[in-house]
Amino acid sequence: MSTSAAQEVEPPRSTGLRRASAFLHRHRGVRVAGLVAAPVLWLGLIYLVALLALFVTAFWRVDFGVTVSREWNLDNFTKLYEQDVYRTVVLRTIVVAASVTVIDAALALPIAFYMAKIARPLVAKLLVVALLMPLWASYLVKAFAWRAMVTPGGVLDSAFGWTPGFGVSAVVITLAYLWLPFMVLPLYAGFEKLPNSLLEASSDLGAKPARTLRTVALPMVVPSLIAGSIFTFSLSLGDYIAVKNVGGKTQMLGNLVFDRQATDIPFAAALATLSVVIMVIYLSLVRRTGALENL
């Protein structure tokens, strides 16, 4: 290489921008702070403060009407504990959310595996599009469509002469329907990342396909499974619109919060705090599996 060419290149001019860039390069702390300041401030000031304020409100009460009186008390939480109905509703909600998660996982696992590993690339692409399209159809429309399906004299009744009617089973079916894409997506991503060589190696070592799937493929997609379950569980925990529509007289935690927030925000806050606690417990349990990155 000729050195004379290198000597003719001038060093870049030191403009303000260049000096700023150099400063940022040297001071990592300032750089990081500058980047995360805006989102953290936004989320912290708006969201976190709102959540904490709600939590604080749970320790107050309403007198007559909607006026919140700032006397500190534990009445709301005592009521949650003492009046049986709240325990019943919370348990019912958790059971429904868990059932929905299990059903969606059971449906999504084979489909995601098929799309990622078995189907031809073109078919897989079409299937992904086909399964994601309902995400764009309005949630309300889907919930009301299921009302039309399960109502006595509705679609299921005309087609099969039978319908579960308005109730908990209809709620489970509807919620499982609504959240299925949220389970399929991360599982599909997880299966796609799964190296084929692992499956091949397992078969080479003599395992039948079922064994390979059970002991090799499944454990590797557990983080994706958990990621999907976060959605199905959280969405079912707080849902009140679909429940109101197909659940008949069923009450779930979301309904309680929605009904109470109109006139008794402290008690609704106590209920909301309860659901947050449930979710936070769930999130912290699964954080170790790295599922949060798969969201």
Partner 1 sequence: MSTPGFRLSRGSTWGLRALVALVLAFVYVPLAVVVINSFNSDQTFSWPPRGFTLEWWRRAKDSTGMIDALQQSLKIGVLATLIALALGTLAAFGLQRNRFFGRQAVSLLIVLPIALPGIVTGIALNNAFTTILGIDLSIWSLVIAHATFCIVVVFNNVVARLRRLGGNIEEASMDLGATRFTTFRLVTLPNLGSALLAGGLLAFALSFDEIVVTTFTAPADIQTLPLWIYANLLSRQQAPIVNVAAAALILLSVIPIYLSQKLSGDQTGGRL
Partner 2 sequence: MTITSQRRPVRPTRHHRRTSGLAVLAAAALLATACGTSDSGGSSAKQPGGNGFQAPDIPMADSLGAGEGELNVLAWPGYAESGKNDKTVDWVTPFEKKTGCQVNVKEFGTSDEAVSLMHGGGYDVVSASGDATLRLIAAGDVQPVNTDLVPNYADLSAFLKDQDFNSVDGQMWGIPHGWGANLLMYNKDVVQPAPTDWDAVFGGSSAYAGKVTAYDSPIYIADAALYLMNTKPDLGIKNPYALDKDQLAAAVQVLKDQKANVGEYWSDYTKEVQAFKSGSTVIGTTWQVIANLTEADAPVATVFPDSGSTGWSDTWMVSSNNDHVNCAYMWLDWIASPDVQAQVAEWFGEAPANPKACDSTSKGFCDTYHVTDADYAAKIHYWTTPIKQCLDGRTDIECTDYNAWTDAWTEVKG
Name the residues that contact partner 2, by CB under 8 A: 44, 48-49, 52-53, 56, 62-71, 79, 83-86, 88-89, 151-154, 165-166, 193, 220, 223, 248-249, 251, 256, 259-264, 288-291, 293
Beta bridge partners of 69: 61
Encoding tokens for residue 137?
């159809």
- CB closer to partner 2 out of 111 and 291: 291
Contact of residue 133 among partner 1, partner 2, none (CB under 5-8 Å per partner type)? partner 1
Residue 209 is encoded by which pair of tokens? 């396909």
User: Measured between alpha carbons, how far apart are the two ends of the chain, in Å?
Assistant: 51
**Which of partner 1, partner 2, none does residue 129 bind (CB under 5 to 8 Å by kind)?**
partner 1
Beta bridge partners of residue 100, listed in sequence order = none
CA separation, residue 78 to residues 51, 92, 262 (Å): 21, 20, 21
In this structure, the number of other CB atoms found within 10 A of the CB of residue 196 comes to 9
Q: Which does 290 bind (CB under 5 to 8 A by kind): partner 1, partner 2, none?
A: partner 2
Q: Is 68 in the site for partner 1 (CB under 8 A)?
A: yes
User: Between 18 and 79, whose beta carbon lies closer to partner 1?
Assistant: 18
Distance, CA of 104 to CA of 174 (rounded, Å): 11
Q: Are the C-beta atoms of residues 148 and 155 closer than 8 Å to each other? A: yes
Mapping DSSP onto H, E and C, the string for 53-88 reads HHHHHCCCEECCCCCEECCCCCHHHHHHHHCHHHHH
If the CB atoms of residues 110 and 219 are measured against partner 1, the closer one turns out to be: 110
Q: Which stretch binds partner 1 (CB under 8 A): 73-81, 82-90, 152-160, 163-171?
A: 152-160
Distance CA 1, CA 111 (A): 58
Q: Kindly report the CA angle at 233 between 272 and 237, in degrees rounded to 5?
A: 30
Residue 92 within binding range of partner 1, rule CB under 8 A:
no
Q: Which of 98, 144, 169, 222 binds partner 1 (CB under 8 A)?
A: 144
Q: Read off the tokens for 45.
A: 């000031």
Nearer to partner 1, 39 or 65 (CB): 39
Q: Does 67 bind partner 1 (CB under 8 A)?
A: no
**Count of residues of this chain found to bind partner 1 when the rule CB under 8 A is applied:** 108
Which of the choices partner 1, partner 2, none does residue 107 contact, using the CB cut-off of 5 to 8 A by kind? partner 1
Pick out residues in 201-240 that bind partner 1 (CB under 8 A).
201-204, 209, 212, 230-231, 234-235, 237-240
Contact of residue 206 among partner 2, partner 1, none (CB under 5-8 Å per partner type): none
- CA 80, CA 68: separation in Å to the nearest integer? 19
